[in-house]
Amino acid sequence: MHVVVCGAGVIGLSCAHALRERGHEVTVVERQPAERDGCSFGNMGMLVPSHFEPLAAPGAVSLALRSMFDSRSPLYVRPRLDPDFLGWCFRFMRAANAAHVARSAPVLRDLHLASRRLYEQLARRTDNAFGLVTRGLLVLCRTAHGLDEEVGLAATANALGVPAEVVSPGRAAELDPGVRMDIKGAVFYPLDCHLEPQRLMNTLLRLTQSAGVALEWDTELTGWRTAKGRIEAALTTRGELGADAFVLAGGSWSPALVRSLRLELPLQPGRGYSVTLREPRQLPRLCSVLSEARAAVTPMGTSLRFGGTMELSGLNAPMRRERVRSVIDAALRYFPEFRAEDFSDVPAWSGLRPCSPDGLPYIGRFARYRNLCAATGHAMMGVSLAPITGNLVAEILADEPPSVAITALDPNRYG
């Protein structure tokens, strides 16, 4: 087949790589230039089997309501009278319950574990060109209440077959002696990993280009040509691109790309922030999640990245400096050796993550156009789930049974 992949982020390139490995002719269309700085580059680079709980979970609605007037909150929702946003919020509230989490957790677990195996294979093939580190992750807790919550999640993880160990501050220091932590305790997830996103993107780009994938940069998708329930061509600013099948991997811009097809794909862009210290005064060996702050820390070679937060404020909202400040303040609380001046003049990054209302990605064929496959809506798990998403898309387009159950990921579930 000839397959056109719409989007050259980590999901789009992973799809292109998997499809090309199966012998298909692949063209990737990307609205930005080759030198870009999107969500796939400035993220935390975490591969997280520990993240089996979707964004839509008990307590998320009350947290969102409390945060609506506090732009420094870990989850900030900017109120606005936008029909798409209000519809998304209604669906999010309906999904944020224990039953949904119980159904979703095994699905996310299987996706993460499958992706981890694929990353290990890719690391062996490329002499670990993207800096995969398989030492695990620490969830750090500064309060007794926070630790109690994480202990409960650790019990659920172990019941799901995701190893989790509740550890004392002393044991946490043994696991990661490279940094001093001010914590009450922690949970250690040995199967979690991390990598360097920029190097991963460079690796995927090199692999796809050397395999013969055509990459069309600075090319915006403007519409579609359809006939008899099939898409015949993608209309772009550089002309038509005919193909046998198409993959929607446009991240937060995906809903706009299929609006003319009358396909409903509820997504909201969730802005995240990060800052990267090139010469940190301490360098942890493990990545970590700062539990109460909803922030994260990842060593990347000799650099150290701090990031996190979820901001639902639309596609075109400006960067909020106070949210960057909240990430830095959290770092200073959990890692007392660091100083505020360490972050002076350090540039901040922000990117938009595509969030579905139920916290699950969209992977699968659209019912109205069977040769259009969705691969979007991964929220904060794009890097973690990229390889398995690419494999699943290749299996779906070949009409093969998917290697991981994907019924819950049906892109038609809202439309």
Structural domains of the chain ordered from first start: 2-40+199-265+359-409 (3.50.50.60), 46-195+268-355 (3.30.9.10)
User: What pLDDT, on a 0 to 100 scale, did the predictor assign at position 316?
Assistant: 85
Q: Mean pLDDT throughout 319-335? A: 94
Tens digit of each residue's pLDDT (9 = 90 or more) over 272-322: 999 999 999 999 999 999 999 999 999 999 999 999 888 888 888 888 899
User: What pLDDT, on a 0 to 100 scale, did the predictor assign at position 381?
Assistant: 96
Which value, to the nearest 10 degrees, does the dihedral of the CA atoms of residues 145, 148, 154, 155 take? -150
User: What pLDDT, on a 0 to 100 scale, did the predictor assign at position 74?
Assistant: 78
Per DSSP, 191 falls in state T
Tens digit of each residue's pLDDT (9 = 90 or more) over 19-28: 999 999 999 9
Q: Is the pLDDT of residue 67 over 90?
A: no
* CB atoms closer than 10 angstroms to residue 99: 9
Do residues 323 and 70 touch, judged by C-beta distance below 8 A? no
Which residues make beta-bridge pairs with 303? 300
User: What pLDDT, on a 0 to 100 scale, did the predictor assign at position 66?
Assistant: 74
User: What pLDDT, on a 0 to 100 scale, did the predictor assign at position 318?
Assistant: 85
Max distance between CA atoms of the chain, in angstroms, equals 65
* Residue 278: burial class (beta carbons within 10 Å; 0-12, 13-18, 19+): exposed
At 38, the pLDDT band (50, 70, 90 cuts) reads confident
Lowest model confidence (mean pLDDT) among 62-66, 127-131, 351-355:
62-66
- 10-21 vs 382-397: helix axis angle to the nearest 10? 40
Give the C-alpha separation, 394 to 247, whole Å: 10
Helical spans, DSSP H, in 218-320: 254-258
Do residues 355 and 268 touch, judged by C-beta distance below 8 A? yes
φ, ψ (nearest 5 deg) of residue 131 = 70, 40
Q: Strand 137-141 vs strand 287-290: parallel, antiparallel, or unpaired?
A: parallel
- Return mean pLDDT, the chain: 95
User: What pLDDT, on a 0 to 100 scale, did the predictor assign at position 62?
Assistant: 79
Q: Mean pLDDT throughout 356-385? A: 97
Tens digit of each residue's pLDDT (9 = 90 or more) over 175-196: 999 999 999 999 999 999 999 9
* CB atoms closer than 10 angstroms to residue 16: 33
* pLDDT > 90 fraction of the chain, expressed in percent and rounded: 89
Tens digit of each residue's pLDDT (9 = 90 or more) over 197-235: 999 999 999 999 999 999 999 999 999 999 999 999 999
Helical spans, DSSP H, in 346-412: 382-397
* Residue whose tokens read 């259009």: 372
Tokens at 399, concatenated: 């009409």
User: What pLDDT, on a 0 to 100 scale, did the predictor assign at position 41?
Assistant: 93
- 98-125 vs 382-397: helix axis angle to the nearest 10? 90
Tens digit of each residue's pLDDT (9 = 90 or more) over 231-284: 999 999 999 999 999 999 999 999 999 999 999 999 999 999 999 999 999 999
User: What pLDDT, on a 0 to 100 scale, did the predictor assign at position 356?
Assistant: 97
Tokens at 197, concatenated: 């996103």
